[in-house]
């Protein structure tokens, strides 16, 4: 592989104009295609085959015309009078009427808009009609009154009211931003009267991807790190330029893919997050090696070929581990995770391609100006053997003096950090977990205040009684299921809200006492499922539980159950790949154990800060359901990046004759500074996404930044060298039979010594130890 990559880098440097032209044509052409076919992004977190969707299918069969819960563009407008006042007062009642009149003029509003009624009048009429109808059907007066009160659009104190409607669209992505803006404008006018007016619901979901300031801040920090690394304005700009090209190519791919599949609004954010980080890192690694090779040859094309051949081999295998980790998300069979993983994997692929082809082409165009704008002269300190001494060497030797003690301390620290992970509570993002300054969150909080948290977490129990012939027995069966549901713990109210025309099916609304993100609601759903077989046998019906809350809970459960399968696939494939790269069993094993420690520590820190609200930075809320599996995929890939970057230098030194101890030191001599710079860049890019308004993006940015910190500095830079010192020569042990089976990939670039003009022919035997490392 090293030879093939050498030829690619050499050709890209010499024929730079062809490579640059190819990139420009590809970006412009596919960019134009993407602009023409791009579809709106949509957050649909459903998984085929989950129980709630099976119940929804039964609901649609019994009640023709019932749509999919996630396709409905529902809107809930919440109005509230100031503290100490009620909506019945003329000032606020008139303000609500004016708001309704303005809302009826909103584009895409349904023609009849029957549900847009002042909650004061609607509540009185609804209560009277519901009680009369229920009593007429034989329901006790007290029960009828309790059921009626549970569904009223006006709070018991008369201060908070709700109005709901669905936009007149086929699916939620058809809602136009102008319609949403008109709703927000109407609310803004209503607030002028002293009325608090907020709105939430799927119909108010924004499909515009937020971003800009966070990414720019991360890039700014990355630029500072690169300036320190290279001491050159031009060289510092090359990794950033390359990363932007890779992200641009990945974004174009996501836009084209939206024509053929549903893409969530989180997908391009995740792809950008990963693309920026690895794009800068991969280019940094090759550019640093290019600068190092220039100290041994005046042939810049040859130096570019060597840089791509040697460092590029590590980049390819580092990229492959990330690709494996992300692409493996498709294997767990969860559609929205598959699109996330494939989009991020595509961006990583382009990052590798840019580093291998576009970077050497730009170097060929710049030639001697590649390190222009230099503002310092690198200083080299040499030992008695003429080898460079830098902080990487000092750190490695420090660890080498007490590897067991240092390794034990790091392991203990990571285990302690991981302890809070045992309380991990997962849920999908909802309006009640939105940022506190958003109208969606304010609306959710008002609903909880006025009607209790369960109003936002309704469960729909669908009852199929087609197997019962007697209509009276069917109605009795519906009553039996309702009574059974009402007796469950955490149920505030359960009542029949719909019976189909031939009385073969019913819908029972269950209102929990707890909210959509509360573990008690999850427990209630599980209890209903556990008792489902018993009530079906007792009433001779078929029962299923659906609704948005049930769907989201089932998705969270499916994500959790997919983790073991996903881990086995990722770790297994990556372990084989690392055995090929390092020709060792123990090195991949310690790399994997280190990853598990860092990711568990990350879970623990994330639970403490975001779920338990430690330090008062964030209000305690569940962790978004897909964060663990996404985090595992990304962090595993990035952890193996650092493993490959650092240990490949150790392997290279060992192959060229250094003993086990000196190989570790030499690996840090040449690789530690680059890995440190790469980790700082990744941390800054990920942490910058904490400036996003959506809390689950904030938590994801924090988790990724923390994971990189733990893995790069505690595991790769401390625990792994300690383990390498302790293992000694055994670290490179590989059974002979396995060595014969595994294909030789030459990640160290040993075959490049046979190429005419290789630096090894112009420098002493251990020139690799004598050359100056890349300055930081």
- Mean pLDDT for the stretch of residues 169-198: 90
CA dist 325 and 428 (Å) reads 22
| 1-38+212-381 against 395-435+555-747: fold identical | yes
CB neighbourhood size of 175 (10 A): 25
Averaged pLDDT of the chain: 85
Cα separations (Å) of 631 from 246, 478, 504, 603, 722? 21, 45, 46, 9, 26
Nearest to 453 by CA among 395, 520, 386, 407: 520
The tokens for 732 are 């490179």
The tokens for 749 are 């670039």
Sequence ranges of the domains in the chain: 1-38+212-381, 69-205, 395-435+555-747
Q: What is the pLDDT of residue 774?
A: 40
What are 74-126's pLDDT values in tens digits?
899 999 999 999 999 999 999 999 999 999 999 998 877 666 899 999 999 99
* 411 band by pLDDT with thresholds 50, 70 and 90: very high
DSSP label at residue 368: G
pLDDT above 80 for 161: yes
Q: Which of 137-146, 403-412, 565-574, 656-665 has the lowest mean pLDDT?
A: 565-574
Higher-pLDDT residue of 377 and 371 is 371
Q: What is the pLDDT of residue 42?
A: 63
Please provide the CATH number assigned to the domain covering 1-38+212-381.
1.20.1640.10
Nearest to 242 by CA among 353, 372, 367, 366: 353
Instruction: List the beta strands (DSSP E) in 131-240.
Output: 160-166, 196-200
Q: What is the pLDDT of residue 758?
A: 44
Q: What is the pLDDT of residue 284?
A: 87
* 397 band by pLDDT with thresholds 50, 70 and 90: very high
Q: What is the pLDDT of residue 483?
A: 93
CA dist 462 and 50 (Å) reads 15
What are 712-758's pLDDT values in tens digits?
999 999 999 999 999 998 988 888 888 888 877 666 566 666 564 44
What are 543-565's pLDDT values in tens digits?
999 988 898 888 888 888 888 88
| CATH T-level fold of 395-435+555-747 | Multidrug efflux transporter AcrB transmembrane fold (1.20.1640)
* 765 band by pLDDT with thresholds 50, 70 and 90: very low
For 506-561, what is the HEC assignment? EEEEEEECCCCCCHHHHHHHHHHHHCHHHHHHHHCCEEEEECHHHHHHHHHHHHHH
Which residue, chain included where needed, has tokens 């590897």?
Answer: 403
pLDDT above 70 coverage of the chain, percent: 91
CA dist 768 and 627 (Å) reads 42
- Mean pLDDT for the stretch of residues 273-299: 85
Q: Which of 135-139, 486-490, 720-724 has the lowest mean pLDDT?
A: 135-139
Q: What is the pLDDT of residue 376?
A: 64
What are 619-651's pLDDT values in tens digits?
778 888 878 888 887 788 778 778 877 888 888
């Amino acid at each position: 592989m090293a030879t093939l990559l050498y030829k690619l880098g050499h050709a890209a440097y010499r024929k730079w104009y062809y490579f640059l032209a190819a990139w420009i044509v590809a970006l412009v052409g596919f960019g134009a295609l993407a602009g023409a076919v791009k579809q709106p992004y949509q957050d649909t977190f459903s998984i085929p085959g989950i129980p709630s969707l099976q119940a929804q299918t039964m609901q649609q069969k019994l009640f023709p015309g019932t749509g999919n819960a996630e396709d409905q563009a529902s809107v809930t407008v919440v109005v509230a009078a100031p503290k100490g006042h009620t909506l019945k007062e003329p000032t606020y009642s008139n303000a609500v009427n004016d708001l309704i009149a303005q809302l009826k003029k909103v584009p895409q509003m349904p023609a009849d808009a029957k549900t847009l009624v002042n909650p004061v009048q609607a509540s009185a009429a609804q209560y009277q009609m519901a009680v009369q109808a229920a009593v007429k059907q034989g329901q006790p007066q007290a029960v009828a009154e309790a059921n009626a009160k549970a569904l009223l659009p006006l709070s018991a104190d008369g201060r908070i009211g709700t109005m709901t409607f669905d936009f007149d669209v086929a699916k939620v992505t058809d809602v136009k931003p102008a319609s949403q803006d008109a709703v927000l404008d109407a609310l803004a006018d209503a607030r002028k009267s002293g009325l608090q007016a907020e709105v939430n619901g799927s119909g108010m979901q924004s499909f515009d991807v937020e971003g800009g300031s966070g990414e720019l801040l991360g890039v700014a920090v990355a630029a500072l790190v690169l300036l320190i690394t290279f001491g050159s304005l031009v060289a510092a700009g090359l990794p950033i330029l390359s990363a932007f090209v890779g992200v641009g190519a990945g974004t174009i791919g996501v836009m084209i893919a939206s024509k053929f599949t549903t893409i969530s609004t989180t997908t391009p954010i995740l792809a950008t997050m990963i693309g920026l980080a690895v794009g800068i890192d991969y280019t940094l690694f090759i550019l640093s090696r290019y600068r190092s090779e220039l100290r041994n040859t005046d042939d810049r094309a040859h130096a570019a070929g060597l840089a791509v051949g040697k460092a590029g081999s590590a980049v390819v295998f580092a990229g492959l581990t990330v690709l494996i980790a992300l692409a493996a998300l498709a294997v767990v069979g969860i559609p929205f995770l598959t699109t996330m993983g494939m989009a991020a994997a595509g961006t990583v692929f382009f990052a590798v391609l840019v580093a291998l082809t576009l970077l050497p082409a730009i170097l060929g165009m710049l030639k001697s100006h590649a390190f222009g704008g230099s503002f310092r002269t690198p200083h080299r300190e040499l030992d008695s053997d003429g080898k460079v001494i830098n902080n990487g060497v000092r750190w490695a030797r420090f660890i080498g003096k007490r590897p067991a003690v240092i390794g034990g301390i790091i392991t203990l620290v990571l285990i302690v950090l991981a302890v809070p992970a045992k309380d991990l509570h997962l849920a999908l993002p909802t309006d009640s977990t939105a940022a506190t300054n958003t109208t969606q969150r304010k609306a959710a909080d008002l609903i909880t205040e006025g009607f209790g948290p369960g109003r936002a977490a309704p469960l729909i129990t669908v009852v199929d009684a087609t197997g019962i012939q007697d209509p009276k027995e069917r109605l009795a069966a519906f009553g039996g299921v309702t009574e059974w549901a009402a007796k469950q713990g955490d149920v505030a109210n359960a009542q029949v809200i719909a019976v189909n025309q031939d009385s073969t099916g019913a819908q029972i609304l269950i209102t929990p006492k707890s909210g959509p993100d509360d573990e008690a609601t999850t427990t209630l759903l599980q209890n209903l499922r556990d008792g489902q077989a018993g009530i079906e046998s007792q009433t001779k019906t078929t029962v299923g539980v659906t609704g948005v809350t049930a769907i989201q809970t089932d998705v969270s459960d499916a994500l959790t159950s997919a983790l073991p399968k996903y881990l086995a696939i990722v770790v297994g494939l990556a372990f084989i790949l690392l055995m090929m790269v390092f020709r060792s069993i123990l090195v991949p094993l310690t790399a994997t154990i280190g990853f598990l420690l860092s990711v568990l520590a990350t879970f623990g820190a994330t639970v403490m800060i975001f779920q338990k609200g430690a330090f008062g930075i964030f209000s305690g809320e569940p962790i978004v359901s897909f964060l663990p599996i996404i985090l595992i995929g990304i962090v595993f890939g990035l952890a193996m990046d650092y493993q490959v970057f650092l240990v490949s230098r150790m392997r290279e030194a060992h192959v060229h004759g250094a003993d086990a101890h000196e190989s570790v030191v030499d690996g840090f001599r040449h690789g530690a500074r680059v890995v440190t710079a790469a980790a700082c860049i990744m941390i800054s890019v990920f942490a910058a996404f904490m400036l996003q308004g959506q809390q689950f993006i904030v938590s994801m940015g924090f988790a990724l930044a923390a994971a990189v910190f733990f893995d790069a500095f505690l595991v790769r830079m401390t625990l792994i060298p300690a383990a390498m010192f302790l293992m000694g020569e055994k670290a490179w042990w590989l059974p002979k039979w396995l060595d014969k089976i595994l294909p030789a990939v030459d990640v160290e670039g040993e075959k490049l010594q046979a190429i005419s003009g290789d630096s090894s022919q112009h420098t002493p035997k251990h020139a690799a130890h004598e050359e100056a490392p890349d300055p930081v």
